[in-house]
Amino acid sequence: MSRKISVSQYLPILRWGRDYDKVKLVDDSMAAVIVAIMLVPQALALALVAGLPAQAGLYASIFGLSIYALCGTSNTLSVGPVAVLSLMTAAALGKLGLSSSAELVAAALTLAFLSGVFLLLLGLMRLGFMANFLSHPVISAFITASAILIGLSQMQHLLGISSSGQNIVELLTSLAASMNEISWLTLGLGLGSIAIIIWCRTGLNSLLTKLGLGSRLVTSISRSGPVIVALLTGLLCYVFRLDQQGVQLLGDVPAGLPGLTVPDFSVDLIRNLFWSAILLSIIGFVESISVAQTLAAKRREQIDLDQELVGLGAANIGASFSGGFPVCGGFSRSVVNFDAGAATPAAGLLTAMLIAIVALFLTPLLYWLPKVALASIILVAVYPLLDFSALGKSWGYSKADFAAVSITLFLTLLVGVEIGIASGVLASILMHLYKTSQPHVAVIGRVPGTEHFRNEQRHDVETFDNILSIRIDESLYFANTRFLEELIFSLMAKKPKLEHVILMCTAVNAIDMSALQTLEKINQTLSEIGIKLHLSEVKGPIMDKLTKTTLFANLSGSNYLSHNQAVEDLKDHELPLSGL
Amino acid sequence: MSRKISVSQYLPILRWGRDYDKVKLVDDSMAAVIVAIMLVPQALALALVAGLPAQAGLYASIFGLSIYALCGTSNTLSVGPVAVLSLMTAAALGKLGLSSSAELVAAALTLAFLSGVFLLLLGLMRLGFMANFLSHPVISAFITASAILIGLSQMQHLLGISSSGQNIVELLTSLAASMNEISWLTLGLGLGSIAIIIWCRTGLNSLLTKLGLGSRLVTSISRSGPVIVALLTGLLCYVFRLDQQGVQLLGDVPAGLPGLTVPDFSVDLIRNLFWSAILLSIIGFVESISVAQTLAAKRREQIDLDQELVGLGAANIGASFSGGFPVCGGFSRSVVNFDAGAATPAAGLLTAMLIAIVALFLTPLLYWLPKVALASIILVAVYPLLDFSALGKSWGYSKADFAAVSITLFLTLLVGVEIGIASGVLASILMHLYKTSQPHVAVIGRVPGTEHFRNEQRHDVETFDNILSIRIDESLYFANTRFLEELIFSLMAKKPKLEHVILMCTAVNAIDMSALQTLEKINQTLSEIGIKLHLSEVKGPIMDKLTKTTLFANLSGSNYLSHNQAVEDLKDHELPLSGL
């Protein structure tokens, strides 16, 4: 392969950029406007969720979007600040015990840099499969718990009081302590804002549709609730000087684009943020690709998971050098981008340009924006993330999944995001190992008159005193070898006339080294007491591996292609004793 | 169930004790004598390996053996100090930075107590499956590396110098530093001792067999090499006052049975020893049951894994209250016990009595025993534990197993036992998850003229433009759901006329909640672009679970009992377009 191809592999813009035309530009521009309208207030609000100054949200969006547009493979993924990552950023920074805003901003850069490097490394080493260790129910429980924590963290702005905390107990205690300072005016503004945003999405949406407006225009207007709220509440604050009546304003947001910022590379800071960065990157990656994959499939496009890691990694490193904080692909924003017709990653570049214009020219207006308006925007945005159905569904379907869901949900709420997600991942892995360590096994017999073998406990089947036929419904590997050994020895103890043990391997997809050694050991132990071990119906790929070993050479019995053939062969030897 | 049954469940002696008779007593006594002859010098030597006073080995044997005899289910397992656990004890105590012997003895009691409690809890909660997470190749690599470390730790006694260290680097550096102080007399005694022990096992053994002695007597005499060496070297030291020429003696060993010792329960000590105790218990348990299971199977007996945990737990707690240190079932000793004809756990009780007699009356003789004799006994005992075949075998069979073996072997040698075994376990779990996260999958087609479906890349099969048939050779669970999704979407992108995707589930042994949700998501995404998803040949237990969900209700396609039926049904729909 030439060098040119490998560059375009890591810079997909070189591929789609070649065919870029005016039609695509119009589509992308339209989508960019709609996404930018949605993103500006969200970005400001999410920076506050992360415990950072509002402008960090704008910077993270500009550089997250534009760098991903160069390296990402999804045409529609909208990269920038997202709620769950902002919460995780707040949790990671919260542990550091920093007080000044400047220190927090610096630590956020390091965090974004570390997670960017981690994602990039995973991508370059093609280790995207790491994300697989997060099970769906665990992610869903984690996102639900995170949404609750984010909602609670915004309550202070909605009520005009101040609170803090990394888990539900701390947040509720902190809120309860300042309940007597509630600013009713602030609360009123907040509830009004929430009502307007919801109405834009529902009432206004159907009204405009009835009026016959085009669906893109309807989407665009109905998604502009947050902007309308921002303008309206800002205007109210300015005209009536509501800040003098207890409403907290966003205050000064510096104008212009960020200068080049260099993350703090002190060893202590890196050590303290290391695991946070890893958890945060994996969550960000999983959230990004799950939406990117779904949207791509809808248009029969494909995304490259390893290149996505590279794209997201580069976006985070970019954010870390430009005053941002950790970013990933946002679910709802990407869906809006898709629905609005984004044709290529250029839509992201255009969105970034629009946000840059806001950062350059419109920040003076942001001074009057009340924090409660941003809190309302966040509350409406995280509400759809609440999904307790995983608890109910998993209870009915699988107790192991239920346990993993409960552990994730409750530990995230009660202890914090990092312990919560780490415990969830660990629990699901351990429970998977537990389940496969005790596989479903059937002692089988032949359905009379056929060549079919079925579980002797479920069916009326013929068995033979000198033969023990066992079907194992699981791959054989280290976690269940002891089970297999125990099983055979205990079944054997119940059959005094036993001469042959036949393992039917139709459902055995793999045999690892431990299982191979266990089979050899079982074979030896059985042959010492005069019992032969046979295998039947071993799959092709496993046969390929086993023939390279000494198993078949040492096997006291044979390896049969068909279980029925094995039984026919082996019961015959017995016939002269019992039959004649 | 009555209370009586549950007592005898936890005290198996109540069962086998009822039928105890004179024949069994003779068998057990014979075995007890042979094992005791073997155990006494080993127990003293292993106490030194653990960094404890020699008598601790006797005490640990007395109480380990007798308490296991009451609670254990194996008739032949010989519980007491074993080499690997002694090494792990030394490593655990070494971390504490203790200097006085009294403190080390106290900490060893706490370690034995903690691991006893952990084993007991696992047993009572029936969590014996935890031991399954140790794969065979990992254990084998760990034991090999431990044997090397034990051997190196004994070099100081063999050379008459002093050294210390927890890993190969520390041990070699320490040995090299005092190489100029080698006591050649000590080395000579050591090499002579080794020669005698080996000769007893080989030369003497075949000599006696040729002379026509009974096999039990031959075993007994050929195993008494260590005792002969102890007597001989002790006599030499006494007669020629070799201690004045640089040979180190064992010195005073207090006579009598131990008083009741109470472990130190300080929070700090417990926290420091916690993980060591867990690793040590699991290794001890795995070593015990692997030999117990093999020996039991040879006599068609059965052992109860959970009760074994109880028995070993009780033995360790017993050792912790009587001046001992962590114990488990020893491999070679148990085999000797078995070969010598031990019929019931009473053999262990009798062995314990013999050791108690030694502790009561023979300790004055031990004063003259040179440490180099004990080191020689250990060196001969650990030599058979060296087994590098796992490296070679796993290289040929499975690179994942090879990686786990290498990690365990090298980290144990280079860093230490605890990091080594923990990394090995982690590596094998991660590699198992990695393998199952990228399962073997085949796009299948029909072998013409049959109802069989085979991999289209391996066989000449008929396929249809509107149908994509996929067989997945793995259970579907969280680690491979994303793989499944990516696979289907990428295969789909290559078939423009696609109308039906059929998943053949013959080798799918389980579908967890994540996989269920992924199937629902794939179904929805496909149906939005007019492609139907079908399943075929789903196994009974999985059908039972799936019918409780909404999957089949929402499935755009159908669930077929036979894959051929599915293809017949679905290709027909296409026929009018292409065929007529």
3-state secondary structure A194-257: HHHHHHHHHHHHHHHHHCCCCHHHHHHHHCCHHHHHHHHHHHHHHHHCHHHHCCCECCCCCCCC
Residue B534: HSE in the Cβ half-sphere, 13 Å Cα cutoff = 28
Share of chain A above pLDDT 90, in %: 47
> Can you say whether the dihedral through the CA atoms of B434, B437, B443, B447 is positive or negative?
positive
Q: Please report residues of A whose CB lies closer than 8 A to that of B507.
A: 506-507, 509, 539
Q: Please check the confidence at residue B416 and state whether its pLDDT lies above 80.
A: yes
The yes-or-no verdict on residue A250 having pLDDT over 80 is yes
State the nearest Cα–Cα gap between B375 and chain A, in angstroms.
Answer: 32
What CA–CA distance (Å, rounded) separates A483 from B289? 12
pLDDT at A578: 38
Nearest CA in chain B to A496: B300
Average pLDDT over residues A305-330: 93
- Give all domains of chain A, ordered by start, each with its CATH number: 21-160+172-387 (no CATH), 401-437 (no CATH), 441-578 (3.30.750.24)
Interchain pair B489, A133: CB under 8 A: no
d(CA B572, CA B580): 11
Helix (H) or strand (E) holding B360: none
- Report the sign of the C-alpha dihedral through residues A250, A255, A258, A263, in that order: negative
B518 interaction partners in chain A (CB closer than 8 Å): 136
Judge: B397–A516 Cβ closer than 8 Å, yes or no: yes
Q: Does A135 or B277 have the greater pLDDT score?
A: B277
Q: Do A297 and B541 touch (CB under 8 A)?
A: no
Min Cα separation A394/chain B (Å): 7
Which residue from A minimizes the CA distance to B405?
Answer: A513
Q: What residue type is assigned to position A578 of the chain?
A: S
Spell out which residues of chain B touch residue A136, defining contact as CB-CB under 8 Å: 478, 481, 513-514, 517-518
Distance CA B377, CA B370 (A): 12
Locate the chain A residue with the closest alpha carbon to B391.
A513
Rounded to the nearest angstrom, the minimum Cα separation between A300 and chain B is 6
Q: Best interface-test mutation with A: which of B74, B129, B130, B132 has the largest number of A CBs within 10 A?
A: B132
As a whole number, the mean pLDDT across chain A is: 88
Average pLDDT over residues A444-450: 88
> What pLDDT sits at residue A575?
46
Give the mean model confidence (pLDDT) for residues B347-360.
94
Substitution target from B136, B436, B528 for chain A, most A beta carbons within 10 A: B136
Nearest residue in B to A506, CA atom: B507
The nearest alpha carbon in chain A to B304 belongs to: A486
Q: CB–CB of B525 and A397 under 8 A?
A: no
Q: Can you tell me the mean pLDDT for B443-471?
A: 88
* Contact across the interface for A401 and B512, Cβ inside 8 Å: yes
Out of A300, A433, A518, whose CB is closest to B136? A518
Looking at the predicted structure, is the pLDDT value of residue B248 above 50? yes
Task: Tell me, letter by letter, the H, E, C secondary structure of A467-491.
Answer: EEEEEECCCECHHHHHHHHHHHHHH
Q: Give the model confidence (pLDDT) of A6-53 as tens digits.
A: 677 778 888 888 888 888 898 899 889 889 988 999 999 999 999 999
Cβ-based contacts under 8 A for chains A and B: 205
- Within 10 A of A361 (CB to CB), how many other CB atoms are there? 11
Contact between chains at B132 and A428 (C-beta distance less than 8 A) = no
For residue B349, the model assigns a pLDDT of: 93
Closest approach of A361 to chain B, Cα-based (Å) = 42
| pLDDT, tens digit, 9 for 90 and up, residues A56-75 | 999 999 999 999 999 998 99
Contacting residues for A298 by C-beta, under 8 A, at least 6 apart: A338, B525, B528, B529
pLDDT score recorded for residue B572: 61
- Span A282-286, average pLDDT: 91
Q: What is the mean pLDDT of residues B286-315?
A: 86
Per-residue model confidence (pLDDT) at position A277? 95
- Return the residue of A nearest to B293 by Cα: A486
**Site from B513, B519, B537, B542 to mutate, A interface, most A CB atoms within 10 angstroms:** B513
Q: Where are the alpha helices (DSSP H) in A299-330?
A: 305-320
Render pLDDT for A149-204 as a digit per residue (tens, 0 to 9).
999 999 999 999 988 888 999 999 999 998 888 999 999 999 999 999 999 988 88
Which tokens sit at B343?
A: 């019929």
Instruction: Count how many Cα atoms sit within 13 Å of the Cα of residue A451 in the half-sphere of its side chain.
Output: 7
Each residue's pLDDT tens digit, B73-129: 899 999 999 999 999 999 999 989 888 888 999 999 999 999 999 999 999 888 777
**Token digits of residue B511:** 């579908």
* pLDDT tens, residue by residue, B368-402: 999 999 999 999 988 988 988 888 888 888 888 89
Nearest Cα of chain B lies from the Cα of A83 at a distance, in angstroms, of 23
Report how far apart, in Å, the C-alpha atoms of A396 and of each of A391, A400, A476, B517, B550 are.
9, 11, 28, 14, 11
Which residues, other chains included, contact A465 with Cβ-Cβ below 8 Å and sequence gap of 6+? A495, A497, A498, A574, A578
A355-394 residue pLDDT tens: 999 999 998 989 999 999 999 999 998 898 898 888 888 8
Give how far B526 is from chain A: nearest CA, Å.
8
Contact list, B389 vs chain A (CB under 8 Å): none
Per-residue pLDDT, A68: 94
Contact yes or no for B348/B69 (Cβ under 8 A): yes
Q: How does pLDDT run across B466-523, given as a tens digit for each residue?
A: 999 999 888 898 888 888 888 888 888 888 889 999 999 988 888 988 899 889 989 9
Q: Which residues of A touch B135 (CB under 8 A)?
A: 477-478, 512-514
**A129:B432 CB<8 A:** no
Q: Which residue of A has its CA nearest to B134?
A: A478
With 60 as the cut, is the pLDDT of residue B578 above it?
A: no
